[in-house]
Chains A and B, each alone.
Chain A
Amino acid sequence: MKNPLYTIYGMIVLALMGFAQWSGFSLAQVSEVKNIPKSVRENPGVYRSHYGWLPRWFGGK
């Protein structure tokens, strides 16, 4: 192995990217929430989205 450092570096890059890929890594902004009220299924309005407050873009020219 004439390029041990590069080989190690390359394998680390591939391992990291491979693991991230395998585990389903995504840059999507998602909040994990715990202990969701079971009543949401019967009454969806009781759930308040964490994203409800975000500024909106109204689009168009």
Chain B
Amino acid sequence: MVAAKHVRSLSCPDCGGLIELRGMQHTRTAVCVNCCSILDAASPSLKVLSKFDDKMRVVPLIPLGSRGRFEGAPFEAIGFQQRSIYVDGGTYSWTEYLLFNPYRGFRYLTMYNGHWNYVTPMQRLPQFKTVTGRRAVWLDGRDYRHFQHAQAATTFVMGEFPWAVRVGETANCDDYVCPPYILSSETSSGEVNWSHGVYMEGQAVYDAFGIQRQPPPKYGVFANQPSPYADKAKQSWRTFTLLLVVWAALFGWFTVFRMNKVVYEGSFRFNASELGEHSLVTPVFEVPGNRSNLEVELKTDLDNNWAYFNLALLKEDGSIGYDFGREVSYYHGYNSDGSWTEGDAKDSVVLPRVEPGKYYLRIEPEMDAEASRTAAAGMAMRYDVRVVRDVPQTWLMWLALPLLLIPPVRKSIQAGAFEGARWAESDYSSGSSDSGGSEDDD
């Protein structure tokens, strides 16, 4: 822990208030918390350099002098400043806390709209590069994409600082992001300072300082805020891939391992103009296997005509039957648009869950005299009937695919919306006046 003997107490020459200096020999500027006077800590008499307007006073959420643990070491909050940028007609302010540990040096905690970053000054430079046509930097195997360029002005300070603080001090800032990390460069007076930040939840910051209150709520999406959806979307797609393997296996099984056996075939002729009973029954045929589907196919020679088939698949012992009807129609011709066709001379129906056994078909065709007036064959037709047991049907499996796709697509949309909200705040949003980023600050 930081020893108490390291705290030097002085009186403010302007208001007489107590000033405690904790930054030891590093402190170059101190700001009186009572009167907001900026004092030269290096001078024995604490010369007043300038003064902040008290109306600008901002109360820090983390009281100066508080100690918190970061990276396994205690850090003391010794300085606090508010900085502001002017972008697209609006002023955006964030706060920074200067943390000090005599063995580790300085760190910063920044907070904007409830989003916190733990920032470490860098002693080395990243490499500049281009990623997907945009400015970026590379550091420790990560690409950091340029997010925003702005001129930041110091609008309020409190506590002590290892540099000469001035009211209205400005710096050109560039942020590069690779969530949850952020690299920032600040250029002022020809000097460029790089820092590396990592996103922190407000509760983790408060816990580090032992603050019992609730941290301020988060608003919006911050530049380097980790997306809660990105990993979930990736995981969902991985799970989808596994499910797709199962789906493909089932699809193959239902396609290949079907009996698909023709159990009856017959050809008939029908003339509606003939008197007498038009219904007929087929010979009995065996429907093998387990309870499964059964396809009845009808193939006619209808030409510009239609027919209706009353059909019944009846079990020989009379215990059960499946009653259904099919309409077959086929028309064609020419008109001002060219040739046209409508319908089909053949049709089929798949009966579900037909139990095995001995069956016969009762077929009762119908044709209409008025409808047959234009048909060459009149009210007569030839038709073939084919019955197939356990036919491969895949529409249910195809139906499963979009159902399986719902969760990963939903997660991907959420992830995309999150990234959209993130980059909407950048220089690269469609509404940004600085869209495309500035190149003049390199």
A: residues with CB less than 8 A from B are 2-3, 6-7, 9-11, 13-14, 17-18, 20-26, 28-38, 40-41, 44-45, 47, 49-52, 54, 56-61
Chain A binding surface SS class: loop
Query: Among the interface residues A23, A30, A56, which one has the most CB atoms of the partner chain B within 10 A?
Result: A30
Known pairs A31-B324, A33-B323; list 5 more (Cβ under 8 Å): A3-B238, A30-B351, A32-B320, A40-B362, A49-B310
Cross-interface CB contact of B314 among A13, A29, A40, cutoff 8 Å: A40
Q: Residues of B contacting A24 with CB < 8 Å? A: 291-294, 350-354, 390, 393
Interface flag for B308 (CB, 8 Å): yes
B306–A58 CB distance below 8 A: yes
Closest A residue by C-beta to B247: A14
Q: Does B319 contact A (CB under 8 A)?
A: yes
Pick the contact of A61 from B247, B311, B324, B335 — CB < 8 Å? Answer: B335
Q: Judge whether A21 and B397 touch: CB under 8 Å.
A: yes
Q: Are A6 and B236 in contact (CB under 8 A)?
A: yes
Q: Is B420 an interface residue (CB 8 A)?
A: no
Nearest neighbor of A48 in chain B, beta-carbon distance? B310
Q: Which of B254-278 contact A (CB under 8 A)?
A: 254, 277
- Contact status A30-B277, CB under 8 Å: no
Nearest-CB distance from A58 to chain B (Å)?
Answer: 5
Chain A residues with CB under 8 A of B316: 41
Which 3 pairs from chain A and chain B are nearest by CB?
A24-B293, A51-B325, A49-B310
The one of B319, B322, B362 in contact with A47, judged by C-beta atoms closer than 8 angstroms, is B362
Q: Is B281 an interface residue (CB 8 A)?
A: yes
B7 within 8 A of partner (CB): no
| Contact with B324, one of A7, A29, A44 (Cβ below 8 angstroms) | A29
- Cα A9 to Cα B411 in complex, Å, equals 15
In contact, B352 and A28 (Cβ under 8 angstroms): yes
Q: Which of A7, A11, A41, A56 makes the CB contact (< 8 A) with B281? A: A41
Of B235, B321, B393, most buried by chain A (CB within 10 Å of CB) is B321
How far is A9 from B405 in the complex, measured between Cα atoms in Å? 11
Residues of A close to B67: CB separation below 8 A: none
On whether the beta carbons of A2 and B320 are closer than 8 Å, the reply is: no
Inter-subunit contact B324/A2 (CB<8 Å):
no
| Chain A residues near B350 (CB-CB < 8 A) | 24, 26, 28
B329 close to chain A: CB less than 8 A: yes
Contact of B407 with A9 in the complex, beta carbons under 8 Å: yes
CB distance from B236 to the nearest CB of A (A): 6
B250 near A: Cβ within 8 Å? yes
